[in-house]
Amino acid sequence: MATPKKIAFFPGSFDPFTKGHEDIVQRALLLFDEVIIGIGHNANKARYFPIEKMTQWIEQTFEGKPVKVVAYNGLTANIAREMNANFLLRGLRNTTDFEYENSISQVNRYLVQGLETIFLITSPHLAPISSTIIRDLHRYGTNVEEFLPYSLD
Ligand code: ADP
């Protein structure tokens, strides 16, 4: 019997998708056959960068690679299952990320049996990059393109 394709679902807000996220995806492509980037959105919470634009920018970033981008709302574990992903992918920057990820990964494995979360430790030079900081810089007119793997158009 053929081994099942290893598909990782990488969930996040990606508001915006940064070079830190790109690094996680590039490294994951060495481990998985396909990576699906899931932009989670909540109809009651306004985004800073529009979801349609962010989807296009991420698609451009990984053109020609086995990477898909989907927007979703609802439970991450359910959408991962719907997309036939057998792994969740997350990045770990620090102990704060760890505390949160520790419990959420247990819950996800409880919700969907066998759904394992794989964590990649951030590359040190990218660890300080956070979407929140980039949004704040951009809001006050700072050019943030050095932190992003695409140009804002
Ligand atoms: P969330 O809203 O789910 O925290 P984010 O879009 O902020 O989503 O991040 C998605 C994932 O990417 C998380 O696992 C987060 O830890 C990871 N991540 C965020 N910034 C970086 C970075 N600079 N380097 C590596 N991983 C990161």
Residue with the smallest CA separation from ligand 1 atom 5 is 12
Give the Å distance between the CA of 112 and the centre of ligand 1: 22
Decide if 152 is inside a domain: no
Number of separate domains in the chain = 1
At 99-141, the pLDDT tens digits run: 999 999 999 999 999 999 999 999 999 999 999 999 999 999 9
Cα 90 to middle of ligand 1, angstroms: 7
Output the domain CATH number for residue 130: 3.40.50.620
Domain that residue 140 falls in: 7-147
The pTM (predicted TM-score) of the whole model is: 0.95
pLDDT in tens, 12-37: 999 999 999 999 999 999 999 999 99
> How far is residue 150's CA from residue 61's CA, in Å, rounded to a whole number?
6
Indicate whether 1 belongs to any domain. no
What are the tokens at 142? Answer: 């700072």
> Position 112: which residue type?
V
**Ligand 1: lining residues by beta carbon, under 6 Å:** 12-14, 18, 20-21, 24, 90-91, 93, 97, 122, 126-127, 129-131
Nearest-CA residue for ligand 1 atom 23 is 20
Q: DSSP secondary structure string, 79-115?
A: HHHHTT--EEEEEE-SHHHHHHHHHHHHHHHHHSTT-
Q: Has residue 50 been placed in a domain?
A: yes
User: DSSP class of residue 32?
Assistant: -
- Sheet of 34-40: strand order equals 67-72, 34-40, 7-12, 87-92, 116-121
